């Protein structure tokens, strides 16, 4: 069975690279370059796996995770992010960070950028 994958990532070069690699392996891949486009695509289609960047324009990855949770969308989610490398100095952000961390628990896997395509492929194969 061919896995249907949606990649929601604003870095077009990364999207194209992932699209090419995954398509070559026989996956059916769709792309969204911002969160709002990704949300609309999710509303209209079913995906086995969603590869989701957290920091995307118009509707960030956290909001996508929240939307999927509220709509009971069962796609597996692989989060790709550089977020874990950020050290926040502003204590005011602690409540927001806790909410974000709670939403991240809804993801099936998290890959920290930069990552190798093979790492993502391995995660997809285990979903």
Share of the chain above pLDDT 90, in %: 72
- CATH assignment of 4-126? 3.40.50.2300
What are the beta bridge partners of residue 30? 6
pLDDT at 85 over 70: no
pLDDT of residue 19: 97
The whole-angstrom separation of Cα 117 and Cα 23 is 13
Q: 38: buried, middle or exposed (CB in 10 Å: 19+, 13-18, 0-12)?
A: buried
Arithmetic mean of pLDDT over the chain = 88
Q: Where are the domains of the chain?
A: 4-126
pLDDT computed for residue 96 by the predictor:
61
Task: Give residue-wise pLDDT tens across range 10-59.
Answer: 999 999 999 999 999 999 999 999 999 999 999 999 999 999 999 999 99
Q: Give me the mean pLDDT over the 94-123 stretch.
A: 82
Residue 97 has pLDDT above 80, yes or no: no
Mean per-residue pLDDT for 100-119? Answer: 86
The set of long-range contacts for 61-69, using a CB threshold of 8 Å and a minimum separation of 24, is 61/8, 61/35, 62/99, 62/100, 62/103, 62/104, 63/35, 63/39, 64/8, 64/35, 64/38, 64/39, 65/103, 65/104, 65/106, 65/107, 66/103, 67/39, 67/42, 68/42, 68/106, 69/103, 69/106
For the segment 91-117, the average pLDDT, to the nearest whole number, is 75
- pLDDT higher than 80, residue 91: no
Q: Is pLDDT above 90 for 67?
A: yes
């Amino acid at each position: 069975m061919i896995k249907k994958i949606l990649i929601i990532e604003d870095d077009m070069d990364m999207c194209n690279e992932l699209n090419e690699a995954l398509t070559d392996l026989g996956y059916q891949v769709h792309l969204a370059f911002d969160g709002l486009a990704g949300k609309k695509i999710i509303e209209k289609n079913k995906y086995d796996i969603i590869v989701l960047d957290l920091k995307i324009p118009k509707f960030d990855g956290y909001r996508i995770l929240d939307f999927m949770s509220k709509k009971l969308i069962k796609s597996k989610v692989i989060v790709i992010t550089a977020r874990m490398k950020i050290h926040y100095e502003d204590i005011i952000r602690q409540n927001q960070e806790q909410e974000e961390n709670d939403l991240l628990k809804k993801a099936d896997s998290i890959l920290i950028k930069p990552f190798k395509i093979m790492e993502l492929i391995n995660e997809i194969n285990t979903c």
